[in-house]
Amino acid sequence: MSVISTFSISASGMAAERLRLDTISSNLANINTTRTPEGGPYRRLMTVMESALDGRGVRVARIAQDESPPLVVHNPGHPDADADGNVAMPNVNPVLEMVDMISASRAYEANVAAFNAAKAMAVKALEIGKA
């Protein structure tokens, strides 16, 4: 495996984890959104990753919506409450989102470390050729 392909693999991982972090941020930002253009409450988004076409690295295949039912909360004063006073809330669990955020953050850091290790090896190889 060449150093250049190592850079490419690490960069693809960083890009995928950045998109995963963006998706998690969107979920947390919409944790109380009860009305969307599609109708109903916000639905949690998840990134689905797969191996890149060349087999080196990763890519985001799609961003999927969580199809689990919305949470129903009794809040008769809410503008989106039904006749019984129940409100359909987003299916976003802040604890799960924070765990996913830590996981994505650590995966991003691991890709940065791999990139920097490959860079250091390339620099050392160039120094050997200089001597």
Average pLDDT, the chain: 92
User: Taking a C-beta distance cutoff of 8 angstroms, is the pair 47, 17 a contact?
Assistant: no
In sign, the C-alpha dihedral spanning 3, 61, 36, 25 is: negative
pLDDT computed for residue 131 by the predictor: 61
Whole-angstrom distance, CA of residue 21 vs CA of residue 89: 22
User: Taking a C-beta distance cutoff of 8 angstroms, is the pair 27, 45 a contact?
Assistant: yes
Range scoring the smallest mean pLDDT among 4-13, 20-29, 91-100: 4-13
pLDDT tens readout for residues 69-106: 999 999 999 999 999 999 999 999 999 999 999 999 99
What pTM was estimated for this model as a whole? 0.86
Residues with Cβ within 8 Å of residue 59, at least 6 apart in sequence? 12, 16, 49, 50, 51, 52, 53
